[in-house]
Amino acid sequence: MPDGTIPTPDDYGNFIIGPTHTPAPEMTVQPGVPQGQIFTFNWDSKDSKIYPGIVRDRNTFGTPDPANPANLIVTTSHPGTYTRVVTVYVPKQYVAGTAAPFIVTADGDKSVFKPLDNLIAAGKVPPMIAIAIASGGGDAQGSERGLEYDTMNGLYAEFVEKEILPMVESTANVKLTKDPDGRATMGGSSGGSCALIMAWYHPELYHRVLTYSGTFVNQQWPYNPETPGGAWEFAKSIIPKSKAKPLRIFIETGDKDLLNPNAMRDDMHDWTLSNELMAKALADKKYKYQFIFAQNAGHVDGKVRNQTLPEALEWLWKGYKPKK
């Protein structure tokens, strides 16, 4: 991975890369490679039965609960509307009428489109659909995005399944596989925690997870006493105390991926540490996982993603065989 080479992993199978991050050639257009087709549609909150929409007033923030530092009190959030854009990539190799594997990306992330052109053409990943779903807007506690991405339950996966995927099939004239081994999720920051949450709470829907700078910290809102640390609980208690699920998980963090570790003074807001703890929890439970620790890298670092994404996608889909 660094400058085109894969470093030697440690005893857990983790990789340290950097500090120079050279883009992988698969991230650019390659001569003679077929280009996928792109479809776009809008999804309005008035059409959603699951996420009708909330908004936190501009330039307002929550305050830590003096009785419980893990709880952020938000008083300026209220119902509001949104329109999200959904962008669909269909590879040239897709055979009409067949059930295709697919990957869902958070925050409307289209970074997988170009490498998929090249990886599919090279036979390194199966021909797959990519579905980039924008969030409902805002960020963190009290926002629509925070409600969708940071909440520790399966609701967002159900929203995608019931409301978005049918529109994808009709708009792009494709058929999506029902096989969870042929379904992947991907995201960065809170989109990364969302990617794991989707698969964790609905392993019957998704088996493959790819994250960059995952927000595996305490950012859930409203407060839930069953998961008092939000996504921080994944490494602290949920993964260690749960039977291993049939998931294949890629996670990445950078040495400058700290953001604001003392945001709520709850000791559950260090992005770098949370991802390191996630790697240890996954290793201890013998998950099929890969952890990349990137030197000289910030939060959802674009240079790191351009360096690692093609190989991450190839690793993520290793062993996939479509059901007949």
Are 196 and 234 a contacting pair, CB within 8 Å?
Answer: yes
Angle made by CA atoms 48, 52, 58, in degrees to the nearest 5: 140
pLDDT per residue over 281-321, tens digit each?
A: 999 999 999 999 999 999 999 999 999 999 999 999 999 99
Q: Choose among 253, 290, 237: nearest CA to 14.
A: 290
Q: SS3 of 281, please? A: helix
What is the architecture, at CATH level 2, of domain 2-316? 3-Layer(aba) Sandwich (3.40)
pLDDT per residue over 54-102, tens digit each?
A: 999 999 989 989 999 889 999 999 999 999 999 999 999 999 999 999 9
pLDDT at 6: 46
> Could you say which residues of the chain have pLDDT below 70?
1-13, 261-263
What predicted TM-score, i.e. pTM, was given to this entire model? 0.95
Supply the angle between the helices 302-316 and 113-121 in degrees, to the nearest 10. Answer: 40
pLDDT at 262: 64
Q: SS3 of 14, please? A: coil
Calpha distance 149→81 (Å, rounded): 17
In this structure, the number of other CB atoms found within 10 A of the CB of residue 87 comes to 19
| Beta bridge partners of residue 235, listed in sequence order | none
Structure tokens at 68: 């419980």
- Going from N- to C-terminal start, the domains of the chain cover 2-316
